[in-house]
A = this chain, B = another copy of it.
Amino acid sequence: MLPIVVDVMGGDNAPKAIVDGALSSSAQGIAVELVGLASAIENIGSLKLHAASQVIGMADEPGRAVRTMKDSSIVRAAERVRDGQASAMVSAGNTGAVAAAALLRMKRIPGVSRPAIATALPVPGRAPKILLDSGAMADCQPDWLLQFAQMGSAFARIRYGIEKPKIGLLSIGEEAEKGNQITKAAHVLLRNDNSIDFIGNVEGRDILDGAVDVVVADGFTGNVALKTIEGTIKFLVDQIISILLADGVGEVGKEALGLLSPIASELNPEAVGGAMLLGVNGIAIISHGSAGPLAIENAIKVARDMVDRDLIGALSKAVTAS
């Protein structure tokens, strides 16, 4: 297999944590190569570093950054996939910039209208829920949402082995006529598509809790839902910690926190290895900005698996099947 190219400049812990993750993957026999600023990177062992002279920041405007920073690590990584020098890319950098670079350099899979970011939400005791689009396209047309459903279904099957993933459309009521103009039109398209198992509209409270496997939304709504889930979990965990470690609570609090900490780890985005950009003509994984070595190692493993299992071929088939 061609190596997986890793952008070592992206994320809050770059470059060290990214390099460490890549080194672990390499030690496990996965072919990995790096792209980044030569001057910023050390201790890369026997890994090959492809030099890039620019770094796109987390707050940079994605479209402009990709257009103007042609020698940035993100753009160079996408080009290595496009040019057949790497089999997949992994970056913990600016999400929008990774999406834009992948789209502009790798182009779309033939038949795909727009790409979508599929984020895996960990749920203890079952496969993660997949939420897409979680931020690639803020304004969407109903037929794009149909393709998100088709691609999300193929991804859930290939990535998690769910034979017939249950697809839900994120809306504000279970009934078909509840929603906004986009979701009402999309509902009809999804219902009439025999290639997916559409279970109807789902609501915000069903994302983590319900029977749905894949939640489809426009990128604006999906991103709001994703960040609301992350924020609510963080809010509640902070409240719980402050109660259990308050003065006077003593040992009981510490013991309880010990009991509860596994769930905090299970809900940790690090565990799932990053979001997947679906619809571009190459494997691109966008790791969490807070990614440490373990998250990067996981992302590389997922990238390897998705190449092995021909995710791109499955996505291509999914959007042209109906």
- Chain A interface residues toward B at CB < 8 A: 59, 61, 124, 135, 138-139, 170-172, 175, 177-181, 183, 203-209, 218-221, 223-237, 239-240, 243-244, 249, 252-253, 255-256, 259-260, 262-263
Contacts and interface: CB of A to CB of B under 8 A. Distances in A.
Copies of this chain present in the complex amount to 2
A18 to B, nearest CB: 23
Contact of A229 (B183, B228, B262): B228
Contacts of A228: 204-205, 207, 225, 228-229, 232
Contacts of A124: 239
Contact of A175 (B61, B227, B234): B61
Contact of A204 (B61, B183, B206, B226): B226
Nearest to A179: B138
A57 B210 CA distance: 23
Contact of A209 (B231, B240, B252): B231
A219 to B, nearest CB: 8
The majority secondary structure among interface residues of chain A is helix
Contacts of A221: 220-221, 224
Which 5 pairs show the lowest CB-CB distances between chains A and B? A205-B231, A204-B227, A204-B228, A256-B256, A232-B232
Contact of A227 (B135, B205, B249, B256): B205
Given A138-B172, A263-B239, A256 B244 contact: yes
Nearest to A256: B256
Contacts of A219: 172
Nearest to A225: B228
A113 to B, nearest CB: 17
Given A221-B220, A224-B225, A206 B231 contact: yes
